[in-house]
Structure 1
Amino acid sequence: MTLHPNLDPELREALERTPPHTLEAATLTPEVVARQRAELDALLALMPPPGPGVVVEDRRVPGPGGDVRLRVHAPAAPPDPSRPAGRPCLYWIHGGGMVFGRPEMDDGLLAGYVERLGCVAVSVDYRLAPEHPHPAPVEDCYAGLVWTAANAAGLGADPSRLAVAGMSAGGGLAAATALLARDRGGPAVAFQLLACPMLDDRGLTPSSRRLADAPLWDGAANAFGWRALLGDRAGGEDVSPYAAPARAADLSGLPPAFVDVTELEIFRDEALDYARRLAEAGVSTEFHLYPGGFHGFDVLLPDTELGRAVSATRLAALRRAFRTGTPAPERSPAPGQ
């Protein structure tokens, strides 16, 4: 693999020591997906449990296709008596290109948020494509959000400080879940954190074309993920914004947002455009573009200077959001209404 000239020097040095095949996105087929899912499950089975400061419990709640599993992470310490309404709540949606992933793969990340922010974190085990195409994944995410908000008190959480967040495909699903919550009249979401989100099935942006051979998640893998979710509709006219949030015509009335993305990934321009449109719609929006980074580098190389900056910036954004608990603004009428 040829490394991009804009690659961060510390990341370049690390990648030059990495076997090239570990950086290249696999040519995805249903058989490859099945094998990689099994490999992920085997790895997750070997992961140690979270430390003593975090209690993890699985819940099964009603969903549109049967029960949805929610993985609840809570501080082991008793709640702060100065906060009788409860702790802030992070509703988390894992990544995996719409075709991979389990909540357990983010146990370490969420344990860190729980310990540093004193929050409750709830991660949803949504159904995966292609076995379960749109709208199954986002409807599972929404059902889990509805249950979390309705049962916040039992979780020791404050429903007025409920954030929806996710990374990669999870970031796209978080954006779509926030759209559904707005359009269905609830639950109230105080904040949305969209980390390197997968938002647009059309593949028309400059970054999606010029960075189609990017490390870890390239253009072919991205096209496979969207086809798995949407079938023959991918890239066409008949695609719901709840599948591809970049398709949403109206972004007003959404909760305050944090969006980040790296310079050298195919999601760069769709994330940048979504953040711009959020701001234009009157949504308070924080945006970060990390120069020299590539998709998922902060997971692969978290102890680099840039990796630490990404983690610290997301943590700071959540801390501010949970401190204020700002509700979403009123939705402004669309032109012509």
Structure 2
Amino acid sequence: MGRPAFDPELGALLAGMPLGTELTYELVQQIRQMPSPPFKTDAERHDVTLGEITLTVFRPKGLTEPAPCVYWIHGGGMVMGDRFSQIDIPLQWLEELGVVVVTVEHRLAPEANGTTLVDDCYRGLLWTAGNAEELGIGKIVVAGISAGGGLAAGVTLMARDLDGPEITAQVLICPMLDHRDNSTSSTQYAGGPGVWTREMNAFGWRSVLGDLADVPAYVSPALAEDLSGLPATYVDTGTAEVFRDEDVAYASRIWAAGGDAELHTWAGGFHGFDAIFPDAGLSVRARRTRTEWLERRLS
């Protein structure tokens, strides 16, 4: 089966990276020992521990009036990453839009599985909304990338169904939405090597589902029968990645339910391209488009 070509600039950058095809638990353990890339911010920061999860709050310095909040969920295939993974994305919104960022460190599979990960993220959202006055926040946006994008979609469904916190918008960046792993794009990106292959995706889902007999839609949001009543949604994906078709389908189903969704499928973008190479031309355009959409939603 043919594959859409990578954007030339991104393809050249990717050629210099060590890539694999499959994940093992041993490899995941090694990756977990690696520190998150360093980041710089002038924002005020404090940590909050809620049992098994940790939140970090970043606030613009000198904030005197309530500001919008971005509740951030990191990527890592459900098995890797921490609350500072890909944190430069929401911190860019903090700098440019003046938002408060709350980032959650949920438990990871396979040590935690079933609904634990999405429950952790929802618990962090409840704390954030419950402490809105103390945090100095108003509108809440739920956002995430890759596995975090899937968890963000699950958390947003939970908030709708459980009469939870009001969510102004959700930003789903190359989200991991469908445990069935059987789309055309998934098949195209089997056999790797790549940033995230079908085989890696299958490992992630096996790890989080464990022996779960019935997969809840909060865990695999593509299973949700009803996508009505969701907040304004931004879906970002690339043409050259595993999640392309499930992401396009999710946006299409929101439209079919009468909802508000904006979909961007970036030609030549592979999984997480703008997180890995933020200065590439396509990445700059993708980030700017996403930020402008968010600014409109928060104005």
TM (normalized to structure 2)? 0.94
Equivalent in 28, 31, 36 of residue 26 of structure 2: 31
Bigger relative contact order (CA 8 A; separation at least 6): 2
How far the C-alpha of 1:304 sits from its partner, in A, is 1.2
Map Cα deviations across residues 150-205 of structure 1 (whole Å, 9 max, x no partner).
111111111xx111000000000000000000110111111010000000010121
Q: Which residue matches 1:142?
A: 122
Unpaired runs of 5+ residues, structure 2, are none
Question: Is it true that 1:168 corresponds to 2:146 in the alignment?
Answer: yes
* CA contact 2:75–2:146 (8 Å) conserved in 1: yes
Give the 5 Å matches for 1:50-65. Answer: 50-52=40-42, 54-61=43-50
Equivalent in 168, 178, 187 of residue 190 of structure 1: 168
How far the C-alpha of 1:11 sits from its partner, in A, is 1.7
Hey, what's the Cα distance between the residues in 2 that align with 1:220 and 1:262? 18
Equivalent in 232, 239, 242 of residue 218 of structure 2: 242
Q: Percent identity?
A: 44
Hey, what's the Cα distance between the residues in 1 that align with 2:4 and 2:113? 38
Question: Is it true that 1:77 corresponds to 2:62 in the alignment?
Answer: yes
Map Cα deviations across residues 200-236 of structure 1 (whole Å, 9 max, x no partner).
0101211111222452100111000000000244xxx
Question: Is it true that 1:12 corresponds to 2:8 in the alignment?
Answer: no
How far the C-alpha of 1:283 sits from its partner, in A, is 1.2
How far the C-alpha of 1:107 sits from its partner, in A, is 3.4
Equivalent in 185, 192, 200 of residue 221 of structure 1: 200
SS of aligned partner of 2:231: coil
Change (3 A) 1:139 1:5: closer
Residue type at the aligned position of 1:223: A
Hey, what's the Cα distance between the residues in 2 that align with 1:268 and 1:190? 25
Q: Which residue matches 1:212?
A: 190
SS of aligned partner of 1:106: coil
Residues matched between the structures, number:
297
Q: Which residue matches 1:334?
A: none
SS of aligned partner of 2:298: helix
Of 198-207 and 208-217, the range deviating more from structure 2: 208-217
Give the 5 Å matches for 1:1-337. Answer: 6-16=5-15, 18-19=16-17, 22-25=18-21, 27-39=22-34, 41=35, 43=36, 47=38, 50-52=40-42, 54-61=43-50, 66-79=51-64, 84=65, 86-158=66-138, 161-214=139-192, 215-233=194-212, 238-323=214-299
How far the C-alpha of 1:5 sits from its partner, in A, is 5.9
SS of aligned partner of 1:265: coil
Q: Which has the larger radius of gyration?
A: 1
* CA contact 1:211–1:265 (8 Å) conserved in 2: yes
How far the C-alpha of 1:67 sits from its partner, in A, is 4.1
* CA contact 1:73–1:110 (8 Å) conserved in 2: no
Unpaired runs of 5+ residues, structure 1, are 324-337
TM (normalized to structure 1)? 0.84
The alignment yields a C-alpha RMSD, in angstroms, of 1.7
* CA contact 1:97–1:222 (8 Å) conserved in 2: yes
